[in-house]
Amino acid sequence: MSRIKEKFNELKLRKEKALVSYIMVGYPNDNATLSSVKGIVKGGADIIELGFPFSDPIADGPIIQKASTGSLNNKTKIEKFFKLVKKIRKQTNIPLILMTYTNILYKQGYQQFIKRAKNAGIDGLILPDMSIEESKNYLNAAKSQKMDTIFLVSPNTKKDRLNKIANASSGFLYMVAVFGTTGVQTKIHQYTIDALKSTKRSVGQKIPVGVGFGISTERDVKKYASIGADAIIVGSANIKIMENTPSSKLEKKICSFTKKLKNQTK
Amino acid sequence: MKIGIPKDGRFGDFGGKYIPETLAPAIEELEKKYMKIRNDKAFKKELKKFLIDYAGRPTPLYFAKNLTKRSGGAKIYLKREDLLHGGAHKINNTLGQALLAKKMGKKRIIAETGAGQHGVATAMACACLGLEAEIYMGYVDTERQKQNVFRMELLGAKVHSVKSGSQTLKDAINEAMRDWITNVESTYYLLGSAVGPHPYPLMVRDFQSVIGNEIKKQMKKIPNTVIACVGGGSNAIGTFYPLIETKAEIIGIEAGGKGLNTLQHSAPLSAGTKGVLHGMMTYLMQDKQGQIQETHSISAGLDYPGVGPEHSYLKDEKRVKYKAITDDEVIDAFLLLTRVEGIIPALESAHAIAYAVKIAKKMKKSESIVVTLSGRGDKDINIVQEYLKKNVKDKRKI
Ligand SMILES: Cc1ncc(COP(=O)(O)O)c(C=O)c1O
């Protein structure tokens, strides 16, 4: 069974929802990545999502765009990333998801990239520009490596399409909370609540549903947990903390932020 | 060879729809509406009327006698898209898409622009059809094409200067896509070249094919050679597509910048590799890690690391040859055409002129070359002036 699936089973028994914490690797610097991971694990997050930078992140808002550019300026490379993942994997058994864009995988070859990612300790992949129509080769490569493929759905995804996407997904299904890019939103829209409920209804027990994009506060996490999200993903908020915290205090600060969010999922 | 409508949105391996899921319903709706309307007689008639009365079609095919004499070989004909309203071929596409958007009930139009020509053409079509226009333009481009920014604003469009990434055309497309993701219900994204996810490459080819279709009618016999410049590839595909099934030799000219060996160019077909960007699989300028590289061209309209997927297909199928022309050669061609014919070409179009002059001398006098002169060069005179100031040493006579 995959680490991600195991985690969701375990959480179900504990009657908890998953907190998924996102960071961009290599931003603001390499040390910050390691300290943040430590803080996230200590704070009790259930899954870590590692962003790998792409030069043209069309699904991302200003905060993650800036982090991508920063990470690339810090010379983040695939080889270095896999080394880092191996290091993290030695320290913890937490499920690790890689989020990046299709071209990063395509350029190395889906099969080759996914094999290396699996070897390093990555459990699942998120590619926001990989549509279900274009996913055949990607899916075959992932299946052969037992890599989870986490596809995104949106509040405007129609039911038949939703089912197709859910069938191609493993680990969990990622519902984008907003019409928009990643970032920090000030409120939860009614349309998001409705969409989450209907997505849950359509998908049933087949696969857990996570929700992300724009979620940054304890109040948001609590709300989504209460209306049926199986996982809540927080990203840009972590990056803002990382930008504003001196390195000596980073682990502690991320840990306490993670703890607060995690408490809302219990 | 025959191409027709790309199956599953693909030209061989190229094209497709690599898009965030939020855009999937919008792309699906666009595809459905467009595939229906593209054969609709009333729509075609309405568009044709705008193209004639508003844009100024058909454009002349001009026999460039002096240029031919100077080159000393094949006859050179210029397809005068520079004479269209707005000064470039872009209006062929913006009128088509804006009319489609209107039929789809969309009131807010967004677009990206590089040189500003597509932005201007979008602003014009929107003013004419009563639509709201917002244009994304890289900060670097707003600086080097200032006049076009003001033109767009005069035409009632809102211009957003994009400060992310390389601050040029690719980043303007990124930002327009982000806007579309955010305002997907209300907004129509009017893409300016034969790029992006299906059905855009097909749609833009359809609207620009008026160029090649007119050439076919205007030339008494099929020309030996046809040449057009390739940025995203819209004026080129519009020129080439109607001639694909003929015997004509077809050549697309990319921006060679400071030379193909320098990395300071925008020639993905000549020097790039396959990849995925802006919703499509195509040839790209990228590094070994799959990061998109910064490009360079003296012409903002060609300064793009990707290219329309149909061109990638035509290259691999060897139906079209793709060559590159450097900035220096472009300036020479710009000055030459201006001097001998009294036509100031856009720097984009001057790439095609430069190549035509190069090969004309190797061809017979009885043979013919048609060059698509995609736009006029008024927007570029400051750039040329600066270039000449900087390069006084090489004593190019003005
Ligand atoms: C005059 C002119 N020619 C050519 C181009 C390049 O675009 P495309 O390759 O889509 O024709 C531009 C783009 O701005 C342009 O303004």
The CATH number that applies at residue A56 is: 3.20.20.70
In a domain, A265, yes or no: no
- Pair B192, B118: CB distance under 8 Å: yes
What sign does the CA torsion over B37, B41, B45, B48 have?
positive
User: Is residue A264 in some structural domain?
Assistant: no
Q: What is the pLDDT of residues A193-246, one digit of tens each?
A: 999 999 999 999 999 999 999 999 999 999 999 999 999 999 999 999 999 999
User: Distance of CA A40 to CAs A19, A125, A222, A240, B219, Å?
Assistant: 10, 19, 18, 15, 70
Q: What is the DSSP letter of B6?
A: P
Query: Tell me, what amino acid is at A109?
Result: G
Radius of gyration of chain A (CA): 17
**B102 given a catalytic annotation:** no
Domain range for A197 is 3-8+17-259
Chain A partners of B279 at a C-beta cutoff of 8 Å?
129
Residue A72's closest chain B neighbor by CA? B291
Other CB atoms closer than 10 Å to residue A132's CB: what's the count? 18
Q: How far is the CA of B302 from the centre of ligand 1 (A)?
A: 7
Q: CB within 6 Å of ligand 1 — which residues?
A: B 88, 114-115, 117-118, 193, 229-236, 301-302, 346, 348-349, 374-375
Query: Are the C-beta atoms of B208 and B90 separated by less than 8 Å?
Result: no
User: Quick one: residue B181, left, alpha or beta (phi over 0 = left, psi -120 to 50 = alpha)?
Assistant: alpha
- Ligand 1 mutation pick, B193, B280, B312, max ligand atoms within 8 A of CB: B193
Paired strand residues for B266: B255
Q: A154–B24: do the CB atoms touch at under 8 Å?
A: yes
A105 occurs within a structural domain: yes
Q: What is the pLDDT along chain B (398 residues), one digit of tens a residue?
A: 899 999 999 999 999 999 999 999 999 999 999 999 999 999 999 999 999 999 999 999 999 999 999 999 999 999 999 999 999 999 999 999 999 999 999 999 999 999 899 999 999 999 999 999 999 999 999 998 899 999 999 999 999 999 988 898 999 999 999 999 999 999 999 999 999 999 999 999 999 999 999 999 999 999 999 999 999 999 999 999 999 999 999 999 999 999 999 989 999 999 999 999 999 999 999 999 999 999 999 999 999 999 999 999 999 999 999 999 999 999 999 999 999 999 999 999 999 999 999 999 999 999 999 999 999 999 999 999 999 988 765 555 54
Output DSSP code: residue B40. -
Structure tokens of A34? 């390691």
User: Phi, psi at residue B276, to the nearest 5°?
Assistant: -125, 120
**Residue B210 in tokens:** 């008026």
Residue A110 lies in a domain: yes
In a domain, A233, yes or no: yes
Closest-CA residue of chain B to A155: B22
Whole-angstrom Cα distance, residue B119 to residue B111?
7
Tell me which DSSP letter residue B363 carries: S
Model-level pTM? 0.97
Q: What is the CA radius of gyration of chain B?
A: 19
What b-and-e string marks burial along B32-68, b requiring 16 or more CB atoms within 10 Å of the CB? ebbeebbeeeebeeebeebbeebbebbbebbebeebb
B20 touches chain A (CB under 8 A): yes
Gap between the Cα atoms of B243 and B227, Å rounded? 11
Q: How far is CA A62 from CA A56, B125, B372, in A?
A: 12, 31, 40
State how many domains chain A has.
1
Test B182 with A130 for CB contact under 8 angstroms.
no
Quote the minimal CA–CA distance from A13 to chain B in Å. Answer: 32
ipTM over 0.85: yes
| B90 is a catalytic site residue | yes
